[in-house]
Structure 1
Amino acid sequence: MLLRRRFGLLDIFISACAIFLFLLCSILYGTRTENLSLPPLVQEVLPAGRCLCEYSTTFQCDTCLECAASQYPVLPSNATSDEDERWVFQYRRDANNYGLDEDQCQAAFPGLYEDIDRAKKYRGKRKVTEQDLSSFDLTKGMVRAMIFDGELYVLQTFMVDNVNRQKAVGALASIHRSIVTTHYREAIPNIEFVFSVEDLPAQPDKPIWTLARRAQDHNLWLIPDFGFWSWDMPQIGTYSEVATETMQRESIEPWDQKQEKLVWRGKITMAPKLRRALLEAARGKSWSDVGQVRWGDVDFKEQFLGPVDQCNYMFIAHAEGRSYSGSLKYRQLCRSVIVSHKLQWIQHYHYLLLSNGTNQNFVEVERDFSNLDEAMEDLLAHPEKAKRIADNNVEIFRERYLTAAAEACYWRTLFKAWKEISFEPLLYNGVEVGEKHKRTQKRGVRYETFMLYEHQRQMEYPKSE
């Protein structure tokens, strides 16, 4: 009897291990394979992961857009008399003006700074201290930097590969550009900060500058992503270059010549359950040109559609990746209708996304795309509505909130807000203000010098010295 009981317990243990191993292998296969068809059992056990809509975020910022539409004119800071012409943001003249002053920035881009205000209010009277920034080690994709007397210094980096390095260098370049293009360099405050260029914030409970956050990540401060400088990807490059090519394309292929289909290209393994749901919802539909890209395939170029080529379609689908997806800002350059699931990850300008009302600038569907067909049939049945949404998308994003001027304004507003809740940084180690110091005691290296370093030296500064 005792022997039989022991064998029974052993059998149960072995069976449990076998089931666990099977489930694990099924999940690994389901999340890593690029095959469109999955066995039904694998589909059942595939975890929802970031397909859950528990933390989906919807913003209502109609008042921000109304303020932008009826902008109150401001007197330029360099005006010499009351007779000088009062300034109002004009896309053709001001889109690439990195040097707008503070009043112009506030007047031109209402609603752009909502997340900065949120982060500052959450911090309240709890100052970010030097100890706060030193209390954690830098993880993949992080850079510690400082602005002092209007100059940018790199203090510490941790980049494990060249992709990380490129993203970090792009972010640093954008920061530096926003500093050197201001007319009042002395107005840039002395600040010290840590930013991350990783999709997933490794330490969301720390006061770190990041590319995206979830609604519950209260300590994170949002920054424009590296792509606003440049992105070393096929048919992308600098953001302004893509914008120019988009407008050139649409000048010869206007709205009424676009294909009346929904387009999407992407890698499904970046968010398997979410992106597979998109492919499944669009499968076999007359309005669908939705497909994946397998970067390893020999015919990958035939699968791939660059951001400008996607502007040939009236409708462009959007799906998040590991966290946010950096492709959204390129899609918003097109005079097309962006169709997106409910977003979980927030970027710095997402407060301007509106899914209803007269200012609607995109179409929102469920996170599992269960009502995608219904949404597409509605858009196709009401072409005037689709055109209005596409026009709003261009007016709000391409021609205002995703311009170079808006990006520079956001950075400088961030610098000012961060100064209000953080400590006064020191340029020299181990000395008090007013004391004599040696050159070797200076902290970090100027941005201009850092950019001259070899790639490996940039990866883990100053350890690579």
Structure 2
Amino acid sequence: MLMKKMWIVEERKDKTVYRRRCPGASEILSFLFVSTCALLFLLICSILYGTRTENPSLPPLVKEVLPAGRCLCEFSTTFSCDTCLDCASNQVILTGNSTLKEEEDYWTFKYTRDRNNYGLDEAQCQSAFPGQYEDIERAVKVRKRWGKVTEADLSSFDLTKGMVRGMIYDRELYILETYLVDNVNRQKALASLSAMYRAVLAAPAKADIPNIEFVFSVEDLPAQPTKPMWSLARRVQDHNLWLIPDFGFWSWDMPALGTLDEVANEAIERESIETWDQKMEKLVWRGKITFAPKLRRALLDAAKGKPWSDVGQLKWTDPNFKEQFLGPVDQCNYMFIAHAEGRSYSGSLKYRQLCRSVIVSHKLQWIQHYHYLFRSNGSNQNFVEVERDFSDLSSAMEDLLDHPEKARRIADNSVQVFRERYLTQAAEACYWRHLIKRWRDVMAWAPMLYSGAADGDRVKRTQKRGVRYETFMLYEPKIQLEWPKSAS
């Protein structure tokens, strides 16, 4: 058949003559179509292999076609908050009416005394944690330009995976609606609700806790970033998202983690025995490369074979998983700890910042609520920033190893800013209350506890909206997943 298509055959008396003929237009198109399909199939197979395999080495061709995906960002975060850091180190407020400048008349934040004080008043919160509320104020300015958030705004979109609609009314937390597709979603949502409940419950009696209604998502990638809702992280272009502390600030269901202050206490205890000079002069990282293949493979490649490297991946199905795994406190044994974002932000960063070590991170694309305190240079430098492809990782590490006093200063700054101030539970509670207060400032309506229509000065009480947090926590997990639909 191929012979007949590609050649013209002439039968002669003495011989058979073959003459090549030019293919027709339809045959050319068919050939191009088949070739294109074959190339696309090869490309798709290469991409699937590159994004799903845990093999640390990839063929050069696969590396070339591996998409950057979320690693390719239009913007990266750059913050300048020197004033915030300077203020945080020496803020003092007057606590009494006395005109005498006695020491007891003044209050300053002290880590050992105040770190777990959930009930700091507003003046103490503002004094202790300047710079922590920057993203809230950014979001307020956005709503001032765009107009206040209406009840229709919150009702304009259906809840998708990982979302909760709630209300605070008369200083009580109510759950109005949930859409949590699995137990992981459920745990994250309960942790966020619990942290919010604790912040409200611990607020001083005179604290302003307004009535609000809100929607938040516990998904790494919020499905509707253009909607006015609360989220764990955002990108620079996600103007409508309001940041909340991630669920790990409450606790996380992993043996090596637990509550954030537990990990901090263990890190302090470990470092009281193994001091800075006893730390390994190496860069450590453990993570799953399939969460962000292009980005995390770049880290592995940049550190491969280096004398200062203890960078490796985690394979959850590997029989030697326990040998590969390093708990957050185990990483404190190293002078340098690398950080790489995952599907979006990586919740592991805050655990790494609990160590008296130098955090080495690529330029971040995702913003969390406390990121405005990051400083990559100057006297307040508290981490080392490299390019997103880690092309300058070697030079950055050589500089740190050649200047040990610089490395120690950066590590000390990190502890003072993060472990001993902005990653405390006192700071988290203050943030929640400020978020609640400022969110009310952009709400265009007053939430109602009972559904019904106004009738003069009275409200026809037809049905109470939502369920109290205390009651919701007692429900079976299958009911919590999709409340109130699951209850019926």
**Same fold by TM-score greater than 0.5:** yes
- Alignment match of 1:214 (pick from 194, 218, 235): 235
Equivalent residue number for residue 464 of structure 1: 486
Deviation at 1:432, TM superposition (A): 2.9
Q: Contact 1:144/1:156 (CA < 8 Å) preserved in 2?
A: yes
How far apart are 1:437 and its partner, in Å?
Answer: 4.7
Q: 1:199 corresponds to which residue?
A: 220
Counterparts of 2:218 and 2:459, CA distance in 1: 37
**How do residues 33-182 of structure 1 correspond to structure 2 at under 5 angstroms?**
33-71=53-91, 73-76=92-95, 79=96, 81-82=98-99, 85-124=105-144, 126-182=147-203
Structure 1 residue matching 2:283: 3-state secondary structure: strand
Cα 1:59/1:176, change in 2 over 3 Å:
same
* 8 A Cα contact 1:355 1:361, kept in partner: yes
- Say whether the 8 Å CA contact 1:236–1:307 is kept in structure 2: yes
1:231 aligns with 2:252: yes
CA distance in 1, matches of 2:107, 2:276: 32
Tell me which moved more, 380-389 or 296-305. 296-305
Identical-pair percentage: 71
Structure 1 match to 2:464:
442
Cα distance between partner residues in 1 of 2:292 and 2:216 = 24
CA contact (8 A) 1:53 1:367 kept: no
1:330-354 Cα shifts (integer Å, max 9, x gaps)? 0000000000000000000000000
Quote the residue 1:452 is aligned against: 474
SS in 2 for 1:124: helix
| Count of aligned positions | 461
C-alpha separation in 1, matches of 2:66 and 2:459: 63
Aligned residue in 2 for 1:388: 409
SS of residue matched to 2:458: coil
Contact 1:264–1:317, Cα closer than 8 Å, also in 2? yes
The residue that corresponds to 2:39 in the other structure is 19
More strand by share: 2
User: Could you say what secondary structure the match of 1:314 adopts?
Assistant: strand
Is contact 2:196–2:432 with CA below 8 Å preserved after alignment?
A: yes
Q: Distance in 1 between matches of 2:173 and 2:293?
A: 40
Match of 1:321 in 2: 342
Distance 1:276 1:435 in 2: 64
| TM-score, scaled relative to structure 1 | 0.97
- The answer to whether the aligner puts 1:308 opposite 2:329 as a matched pair is yes
Letter in 1 for 2:215: V
* Distance in 2 between residues matched to 1:300 and 1:51, nearest whole Å: 26
Query: Is residue 2:210 matched to residue 1:189?
Result: yes
Unaligned runs of 5+ in 2: 1-20
Question: Partner amino acid for 1:431?
Answer: A
Contact 1:149-1:186 at 8 Å conserved across structures: no
Kept after mapping to 1: 8 A contact 2:454/2:460: no
Query: Aligned partners of 2:27, 2:458: CA distance in 1, in Å?
Result: 78
Check if 1:241 corresponds to 2:262: yes
In the alignment, structure 1 segments of 5+ residues that lack a partner are none
Q: CA, structure 1 residues 3+378, in 2 after alignment: closer, same or farther (shift >3 Å)?
A: closer
In structure 1, give the amino acid aligned to 2:30. Answer: L
- Structure-1 separation of matches of 2:226 and 2:211: 24
Normalization by structure 2: what TM-score?
0.92
User: Contact 1:179 / 1:185 at 8 angstroms: preserved in 2?
Assistant: no
Alpha-carbon distance change, 133 to 2 in structure 1, aligned in 2, over 3 angstroms: farther
Where does residue 262 of structure 1 map in the other structure? 283
Q: Answer whether contact 2:98 2:105 (CA < 8 A) is retained.
A: no
- The offset of 1:435, in angstroms, is 2.9
| Separation of aligned partners in 1, 2:73 and 2:285 | 21
Residue matched to 2:302: 281
Counterpart secondary structure, 2:214 = strand
Bigger mean CA offset, 296-305 vs 323-332: 296-305
**Which protein shows a greater Rg?**
2
